[in-house]
Structure 1
Amino acid sequence: MSNYFTAVVRTDLVTRVEAWLRERGSSPSEEHVERIGPDTTLVVVSAGISDCLAPGRFFRGTAMSPEHGAIAYGPRGWAALPDEARRDPHGVAGTFVLVEWDAAQVVVRRDLTGSVGLAWTSGDGITAASDSLLLLVDLRRWLGLPVTQNTEHLLARAFPNNKGAQQPCEETFVQEVSYAAAGRGLRIPLDTLRGEQDGARLTDRLLDAEVDEVATLRAAAAFVVRTMTALVRAPHVDVRLSFSGGYDSRVLLGGALRGGVLAELPVAVVDRDAGHAPDVVAARGVADRYGLVLGDGTRRSKGDELRPDALGTLASTTLGFYDTVFLEPVVQRGAVGLNGIGAGLLKGGWGWRSISELLPDAEKFVAERAALRAQSAKGVRAAGGEPGWADASELLYAAFRNGIHGAGVSIAVTMTTLRPLDQVALARLGHARVDGRSPRERREAALLYGAQPSRMTGLLALMDPELATLPYETPQKALSPGLVAERLAAAGGPLTPSEIDQPVALLGSPSDVPAGPSQLGLGAARHVGFHGPFQGPELLDLARRGAESVEDAQARLVYEGLLRKADQHVVRRGVEPRYAGPSLGKLLALAMIAGP
């Protein structure tokens, strides 16, 4: 990222927008400018834009449709998907952005779980959308439009755990910039040029459909097997599995095992503790059993390598929406990374509880907690739920964390990463009631499928019962052979050849998808002082600038505390920025927003 920037502009503003593009170093080869109405011009900016365009359409990324047994790369792949999938792009998973236009409107959509950020801002004669907060703020300043800090959001994002480490709702650090919940997009009518929400809310997709537990688990497991088989066997596709030894990535490993391709699958393990971390020990135990060589997932072919300006890429991408300060250092166009994130849609990520239970009263972080509770309530309502519901925490997780957390550390430099468990059918099953009541009846007291113990066991058992019972990183996660056998029987027994013999269809090619940020994004980052490598002291200088930019007195005290914490981790202890906690990312975001 910025993987994309688009603006619908009244004609009298076009020269000012074009002047901004030139001033920030945007390359004309990365721009598409088209007159789409008598007084309206469309601007789209992306690296490799010529590989993303079709008449009336810009598509960049990877679409995944378990319902249709297909994975689509780039515009060719998208066009080859069944009409039913393309008619409801909000319902398609993956990692993609889609902009379509005609004589009446422009619509901006992205994958179902929100892996690609979608934020927008409007002013007189213009609406702009992007996955980059920086670009939207910088454009507003260029046009002389106000940029106002959102104090409640600042306080909420300062809460010291992953509940505040990304967007909690449709509001952002800047009052004039909005963010779309997962499953939703943006519509811009040409007669008003004002952005409007587009697409069904998550609850409309999850709560009211009939759910068959056995059919859902078997179809989801079969899709994982078929996906792993297709990707590993596909010629000229470099694939790598990020493996932690836990339930989620173990399902994907099991898919390769069940499909007979495990020996051909490169498997990567992140080792921060010289092989002593519990998850690495568990991963090595699995590797020893199946004869795997664990490494960094080195690709099987070289391809096009991109070594991005790390700090500039971060500033032009997820910074401000997601607080992890990390980027893949080397990326190849068309390389396919696989991870198990998405399982939280079934088993939950935050404990299946109301927002007040998720953020209970406590003596510490009183202001931050109150603000995050208020913002999270807005986020749950944006997903179509109520903050008192028993699954409010998981609606919030699905709407604002699951997608960006799954893609956040790589999406700035690749849009071909896949999460085969990112399936809406699994989310429906997780949110299904098991108390016999109708979906919305007294949902604050609902008993829900995903809240029951060991909900990943069925998927693991369908892959390979022995794999499911091998040791995990903690004894509490252990699955006994008896439990695994019980869940396998309840799921209808082992998968049959007819369920898994047909690999998913790979439409288009991963090499069709451009990799890396636009020159516009990097230029805007340079303008605000974000360029070059990650270095502790330099990062702290920027972080200090972020703390000093906070206007509200109470919020400034809070962010000064975050600055001390970031200094202790990054400078005094020498901790890598990625592992220094989210404090640094929040401060850098504020420095970026503050401008040069």
Structure 2
Amino acid sequence: MSNYLTIVLPRRLENRLLAWLSPHLPAEPGAASLSAGQHSPEHLVVDLPGTEARLHHIARSAAADVFGDNGAWRSGQGDRGALFRGYAQSAHGEKVVFGVAGARALAAETDPGGDPIRASGLFASSPGEEWDGSHLAVRWQPGHLRVHTDFFRTLPLLYTSGAGMAAVSDSWQLLVRLRSALGLPVTLSPEALLAMRIDRAITEHPMNAQTVCSQVRLASVATHVVVPLQSEGAGEIRFEQTPYPEAFRAPSGSWSHGVRQAAVAMASTMKAFVAQPGITLRLSASGGADSRAVLAAMRRADPDQQVSVISTANRGGTDQRDYEVVHDLANRLGITVGRNPAAPEPTVIPYRHPFATYLVGSLGIHQRINIFPGRVGGAGHFTLTGHGAGVYKTSFGWRPFWKVRQDLNRFDTACGPVAGQLGVQFLESVGIDPAAPDASEWHFIGLRNSLHGGRVTLTSLLGHPPLMQRGLTGLAHLPSGAPQSMPAELRRDPKQNAPRPNTNMSAVLLTLLDPELSSIPFDKAAKNIDEQTRDAILRAAGGPLDDSEIPTADAYGAPTDVVNGTAETFLSLAESWGQGVEFSHKGIAPLVAEGAQIAADLGLGDWYRSLTDQAKLLLTTDTHLAHQPGVFGRLMTFLPLSGATVDGPMPTAPMIGPATQRHSQQQSATSAQAAVTVPRRFSGSVLRKVARRLRRGSVQALHRRRRSGRSGSD
């Protein structure tokens, strides 16, 4: 999210690009400004052999991303080359790679004297073969560029093309404004506009690959972007997609082998981090099983808590139960919660305008505001949470997608059918039957899991959520009769491959890693693992893990080789767009109003009036902006769209697309007229009631109305 912008550009368009970029490119450290003929450390230019186009890579310390035949490739003499940025770890946690230095070290060990790009294994030739982590991989070969990010798309990947130009970035706003700067058309998708209007969790991000800007698309999990190189520039981008059932294959062997392998991976990668000088492990713990499973792995990696820092909710707050549970287990086990004098202090380099990083990084792909005050510097820290468990637990209800569509239709009779159909199209595009009993979760895995969790890339590319593993995802989504499905004694129902609250995947991993820790009560009684359940888990999973089973993952490079944070170029651009405002209700109010006005100028005033009214009310409260729904982000998405046009007239009564029926293996084509011709909006009496609640500082009722399903972790 605003870590990179990589462009293949015909030379005839370079003057336009430089006119847009040059005023914002920083000079070398110590220089007052960028002199004529000098290169900015954030702008790498590469001649691409066989074409008149050149590659422009804009990122913090951009030249540090060059990998492979770097000298020859940069001068246009080599026949292949690559860019690598970030952190990677192998799917089973045997290896961790920090930056280009780590990638080179891995390649040298794997095949000394051979092709380093191939030898590193970091540049996947097919979708679904990517490593985990948070990284960008761009590989050039004669005739094309192949681009992907990490397997789960923690680092987002969006793309656009036209007039011989092709560009990829983790920032939607940068790609939209790049098109405008190059004089390329910017038009809007009516379907995406209607879906974005629905203020629910599932529509806080695109419902499929199509974003609000018709020319900017999102590459989800197991998708590669391929850029053909022609004599004068880039051809039309194509994408390659591996179906999810293939990308998320369950690991070979038994269920017990799969879960033990996953638990080992959690602890092994943390042991590799603990061995790095100056690093800290920082866990945000709650009262549930997800973060406690991560704590168990942390204790195996750092039993004396030399580099581990554990935080939790504040005492007396809304999460008081989390506070009580975490401090209870700390007292029982002698764990320090809060500041740990033994652990190295992390370095955080402040951003000038933290809110601008949100607007550049998240606008258009994740509407809920999340702010990071700065970027991680120095050796950094490995931030740990229970996030990632959503890929194998109930996030959107674990249900056929037609039930999600029903909820959307009930919530918004005008726009719900459109959003639901976009979701169906996404599932079909990744090889999932929308009628499958777990179809809702595959939609979560492909979109929200990545975009919601990936917001941390605004501050750091270091690390990977320990619970987010493709093998565990494959195990959890097996049919109940499969040989590798969960043992019957741990299931909620013997006929379903579904756990009880105290035998879910996090509970299993926790019990394998630390049986004592698993026996301490959780925030809810249903999650408690009694002695009988603990013994059943250990019996089914082969007993607790022994220290001899947990090696330290092989590490290549060092955390200091990973360059973190939004580029200064992007922050300067955001400031020039008027987005360098204070992060406060008063500070963001003009931008919200500007977005609403642009929507009205585009002829969307009626569709977005209800959101505009809600935003005005929410801005009168003192509730922290990070705890507000995604209304502000939806309206500010229009900021880079002034002067755009809508692809065709906006419908007054959206047509409902093919409906997915329960137990049906095929879609039946149906259509219906929506019951209203303008968006449903609050009545005056409801608005007055909502206003009274908001002024008392309570937005919980609004949140309950808007949420389409739970996401996140315990």
Identify whether the pair has TM-score above 0.5, normalized to the shorter chain: yes
Distance change in 2, residues 1:404/1:476 (3 Å): same
Q: Aligned letter for 1:287?
A: A
1:19 aligns with 2:19: yes
1:137 aligns with 2:172: no
Distance change in 2, residues 1:357/1:309 (3 Å): same
Q: Where does the alignment leave 5 or more consecutive residues of structure 1 unmatched? A: 440-445
For 1:426, what is the secondary structure of its paired residue?
helix
Which of 467, 471, 474 aligns to 1:421? It is 467
For 1:138, what is the secondary structure of its paired residue?
helix
1:480 aligns with 2:530: yes
1:490 aligns with 2:540: yes
The one of the two structures with greater contact order (alpha-carbon pairs below 8 A, sep at least 6) is 1
Provide the C-alpha distance between the structure 1 equivalents of 2:628 and 2:375, rounded to a whole number of angstroms.
23
Q: Which residue of 1 is the match for residue 586 of structure 2?
A: 537
Give the % identical residues: 27
Q: Aligned letter for 2:212?
A: F
Which of 630, 638, 643 aligns to 1:582? It is 630
Distance change in 2, residues 1:557/1:280 (3 Å): farther
Q: Which residue of 2 is the match for residue 443 of structure 1?
A: none
Provide the C-alpha distance between the structure 2 equivalents of 1:76 and 1:595, rounded to a whole number of angstroms.
44
Q: Aligned letter for 1:10?
A: P
1:515 aligns with 2:540: no
1:554-582 Cα deviation digits (max 9, x unpaired): 9644533223333333x322111111122
Which of 194, 204, 214 aligns to 2:256? It is 214
Provide the C-alpha distance between the structure 1 equivalents of 2:240 and 2:412, rounded to a whole number of angstroms.
36
Distance change in 2, residues 1:458/1:518 (3 Å): same
Which of 573, 590, 597 aligns to 1:524? It is 573
Distance change in 2, residues 1:532/1:219 (3 Å): same
Query: 1:509 Cα deviation (Å)?
Result: 1.2
1:99-248 matched pairs, under 5 angstroms? 99-191=138-230, 192-207=234-249, 210=252, 212-248=254-290
Distance change in 2, residues 1:594/1:336 (3 Å): farther
Provide the C-alpha distance between the structure 2 equivalents of 1:52 and 1:447, rounded to a whole number of angstroms.
50
Query: 1:26 Cα deviation (Å)?
Result: 6.1
Distance change in 2, residues 1:338/1:276 (3 Å): closer
Q: Which residue of 1 is the match for residue 366 of structure 2?
A: 322
Provide the C-alpha distance between the structure 2 equivalents of 1:306 and 1:515, rounded to a whole number of angstroms.
12
Q: Which residue of 2 is the match for residue 350 of structure 1?
A: 396
Which of 56, 60, 64 aligns to 2:85? It is 60
Query: 1:485 Cα deviation (Å)?
Result: 1.7
Provide the C-alpha distance between the structure 2 equivalents of 1:63 and 1:52, rounded to a whole number of angstroms.
14
1:435-467 Cα deviation digits (max 9, x unpaired): 34999xxxxxx9763566532221121022232
Q: Aligned letter for 1:256?
A: M
**Worse-matched range after superposition: 532-541 or 390-399:** 532-541
Provide the C-alpha distance between the structure 1 equivalents of 2:246 and 2:596, rounded to a whole number of angstroms.
40
Which of 28, 42, 50 aligns to 1:30? It is 42
Query: 1:61 Cα deviation (Å)?
Result: 1.1
For 1:99, what is the secondary structure of its paired residue?
strand
Q: Which residue of 2 is the match for residue 278 of structure 1?
A: 321
Provide the C-alpha distance between the structure 1 equivalents of 2:532 and 2:405, rounded to a whole number of angstroms.
36
Q: Is the CA contact (8 Å cut-off) linking 2:250 and 2:473 kept in structure 1?
A: no
TM-score by length of 1: 0.91
Q: Where does the alignment leave 5 or more consecutive residues of structure 2 unmatched? A: 28-39, 71-80, 111-118, 486-493, 645-714
1:277-316 Cα deviation digits (max 9, x unpaired): 3333322222222223323789723546233421221121
Provide the C-alpha distance between the structure 1 equivalents of 2:484 and 2:273, rounded to a whole number of angstroms.
40
Provide the C-alpha distance between the structure 2 equivalents of 1:296 and 1:201, rounded to a whole number of angstroms.
45
Q: Which residue of 2 is the match for residue 290 of structure 1?
A: 333
1:19-53 Cα deviation digits (max 9, x unpaired): 22114546622011111033121111101223222
* Count of aligned residue pairs for this structure pair: 587
Provide the C-alpha distance between the structure 2 equivalents of 1:171 and 1:40, rounded to a whole number of angstroms.
27
Q: Is the CA contact (8 Å cut-off) linking 1:351 and 1:451 kept in structure 2?
A: no
State the superposition RMSD in angstroms: 2.8
Query: 1:371 Cα deviation (Å)?
Result: 2.4
1:79 aligns with 2:104: yes
Query: 1:429 Cα deviation (Å)?
Result: 0.8
Provide the C-alpha distance between the structure 2 equivalents of 1:169 and 1:339, rounded to a whole number of angstroms.
27
Structure with the greater alpha carbon radius of gyration: 2
For 1:316, what is the secondary structure of its paired residue?
helix
Distance change in 2, residues 1:32/1:567 (3 Å): same
Provide the C-alpha distance between the structure 1 equivalents of 2:643 and 2:533, rounded to a whole number of angstroms.
56
TM-score by length of 2: 0.77
Which of 401, 416, 422 aligns to 2:448? It is 401
Which of 333, 338, 353 aligns to 1:309? It is 353
